[in-house]
């Protein structure tokens, strides 16, 4: 007898995924249906860590318009996120006043990459995505998702959150 596994679920949007929050709760991303999302892999000990302030500023400016920033701590780049979930949450709140959702630490590359980030990378490959090299290169890579759950942009760590305002404004106007 041949053993078969059920087929992998087909993911059509980010709303098909769930993730664990920094406080241990399972969060279905479907709860953000109809909102514009900025999904970012973050780290507390990175040269780009001050972008937390810019991400929080974006969130505060646009949250009433239906924009949500989602932070996903990752320790895969220079071990720059070594803390526990409690330490990460405390750091974000104490140093940057973060009020946007922060999730539990995940991998964004490799065999243990969170399925959401596998999807994001497949939808918006990196600079070398045309030849299949779409891995995330560093902390604070950003993915912009429209209100239908479609990934519409990928931005490297060097792109400040404030530079995404024109793209967010276009999505809000459409």
DSSP 78-109: TT---S-HHHHHHHHHHHH---S-BB--BB-S
Which residues are registered as beta bridge partners of 153? 144
For 159, phi then psi, to 5°, come to -85, 115
To the query of whether residue 46 is one of the catalytic residues in this protein, the response is: yes
Token output for 5: 């596994």
Question: What burial class does residue 13 get, using C-beta atoms within 10 Å of its C-beta: 0-12 exposed, 13-18 middle, 19+ buried?
Answer: middle
Q: Is 151 helix (H, G, I), strand (E, B) or coil?
A: strand
Rounded to an integer, the average pLDDT of 144-155 is 94
Rounded to an integer, the average pLDDT of 19-34 is 96
Token output for 104: 């539990």
Residue 10: pLDDT band (50, 70, 90) is low
Rounded to the nearest 5 percent, the helix, strand and coil shares of the chain are 35, 20, 45
> Could you state, in order of their start, the residue ranges of all structural domains in the chain?
21-173
**If you average pLDDT over each of 13-17, 69-73, 128-132, 152-156, which comes out highest?**
69-73
- Domain 21-173, CATH 3.40.30.10 — does that match? yes
Token output for 35: 């909102």
Residue 2: pLDDT band (50, 70, 90) is low
pLDDT of residue 6 exceeding 60, the answer is no
Q: How far is CA 153 from the centre of its chain?
A: 12
Residue 1: pLDDT band (50, 70, 90) is low
Q: Return the pLDDT at 86.
A: 93
User: How does pLDDT run across 117-134, given as a tens digit for each residue?
Assistant: 999 998 877 554 444 457
pLDDT of residue 145 exceeding 60, the answer is yes
Distance CA(30)–CA(33), nearest Å, equals 5
**What pTM was computed for the model?**
0.89
Whether 48 and 140 have beta carbons less than 8 Å apart is answered as yes
User: How does pLDDT run across 53-73, given as a tens digit for each residue?
Assistant: 999 999 999 999 999 999 999
Q: Which residue among the candidates 19, 38, 40, 46 is catalytic per the annotation?
A: 46
Question: Beta strands 67-73 and 36-42: pairing type?
Answer: parallel
pLDDT of residue 100 exceeding 60, the answer is yes
**Across the chain, what does the average pLDDT equal?**
90
């Amino acid at each position: 007898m041949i053993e078969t596994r059920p087929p992998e679920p087909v993911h059509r949007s980010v709303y098909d995924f769930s993730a664990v929050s920094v406080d241990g709760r399972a969060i279905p991303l479907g709860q953000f249906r109809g909102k514009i999302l900025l999904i970012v892999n973050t780290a507390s000990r990175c040269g780009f860590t001050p972008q937390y302030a810019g991400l929080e500023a974006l969130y505060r400016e646009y949250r009433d318009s239906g924009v949500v920033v989602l932070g996903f701590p990752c320790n895969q780049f220079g071990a720059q996120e070594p803390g526990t979930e409690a330490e990460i949450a405390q750091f974000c709140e104490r140093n940057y006043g973060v009020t946007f959702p922060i999730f539990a630490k995940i991998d964004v590359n490799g065999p243990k990459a969170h399925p959401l980030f596998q999807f994001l990378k497949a939808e918006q490959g990196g600079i070398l995505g045309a030849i299949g090299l779409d891995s995330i290169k560093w902390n604070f890579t950003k993915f912009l998702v429209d209100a239908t759950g479609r990934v519409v942009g990928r931005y490297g760590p060097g792109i400040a959150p404030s530079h995404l305002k024109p793209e967010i404004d276009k999505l809000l106007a459409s």
